[in-house]
Amino acid sequence: MLDVFLVQMDCGIFDKVRSLLSKANLQKHKAGEQVSGIIMLPEMFATGYIPTNPSDYAEDFSNAEAGATAKFLSELANETGCAVMGAGIGIGPEGKLRNHSSIYLPGQTTEYSSYDKVHPFFPEQEEFKGGENISLFEINGWKISSAICYDLRFPELFRDAVKKGAQLITVQAAWPKIRVEHWETLLKARAIENQVYIAAVNGVTIDGVSDNGTGSKNDAIALGGNSMIITPQGEIISRGSSDCEEVVHNSLDDVSLAEYRKAFPVLDGIV
C-alpha cells in the first residue's frame, strides 16, 4: 500500500502547505520505519505559474542548503515522515531554466529524485528548456514516474514510463479552470491505456485571481483544482473541488494493480 496526499492550493506560501497538511490523516514517521507515503505539491507551488522574470526565482534543488524551496521540502519530509514532491524553477547544466520537480525523503539532506518537464507550455518556451529524461524512482517498493502539466497531452511520455516499470505516474500542474474537462479526460485516458495509477495535483485559484506576490504572467488565468487519484481502470477514487484549498488523499494497492494487469493483459508485448 502507498498513501498519497495531494495538496491542492493557491500558490506562494510555505506555511499554507503545513496548515493544510495538519488537517490530513498523516501518520508520523519513526526512525527505521518505511516512509509513510508521498506528499505532492502543484507545479511551481512556491512562485505561481509563471512569475515575471522567472530567472529571479531559479533555485538549486540538489541539497537542503541550496535554496529556500529545497530546504522547505527537506524539512517537510522530516516533519511528516513522507516523501515530499515539490516543483519550482531549476537551472539545467547548460544554464537554461527548467520546470523542475524535486523529491526529498525523511532523514536525507540531498534530493532523492528529480524530473524536468519534457514539454514546456507556450509561455515557457522562450525561457525554459525541456528535459530529456523519463524519471523513475521507488517509494516503499512502488515504482513511480513523474510528469508536469502540459506533459499530460503527450501519451508517449506516459507509455515510456510504463515501459520502464512505472506503477504510479504523478502529475503536478497549474491547469486552468477553462480547460478542466480536458484535464479529467486526459488523466483518465493515461490511466486506462497504461494500466497505472495516476495521482494528479493541481493548483486552485481562490477568489478568481491568484495573488502570489511574484507578478505572474498568468495571474488572470484561474486554476481549476480538481486534483484527483485514478485507478488503472480509470475510476476516480479521490477528487478535489474546483474552488477550495484542501488535501486529497487515498491509499493505493499494488496487489490489485498486478492482478488487474494479469487478468486484462493490455500491456503484453509492450512492457
Q: Under a CB-based contact definition with an 8 Å cutoff, are residues 57 and 85 in contact?
A: no
Q: Which pTM does this prediction carry?
A: 0.93
Helix (H, G, I), strand (E, B) or coil at 18: helix
SS3 string of 144-182? EEEEEHHHHHCHHHHHHHHHCCCCEEEEEECCEHHHHHH
pLDDT in tens, the chain (271 residues): 999 999 999 987 899 999 999 988 676 655 456 788 999 999 999 999 888 899 999 999 999 999 999 999 999 999 999 999 999 999 988 889 999 999 999 999 999 999 999 999 988 888 899 999 999 999 999 999 999 999 999 999 999 999 999 999 999 999 999 999 999 999 999 999 999 999 999 999 987 544 444 455 554 589 999 999 999 999 999 999 999 999 999 999 999 999 999 999 999 988 7
| Radius of gyration of the chain from its Cα atoms, rounded to whole angstroms | 17
Question: Bridge partners of 223?
Answer: 176
Helix (H, G, I), strand (E, B) or coil at 86: strand
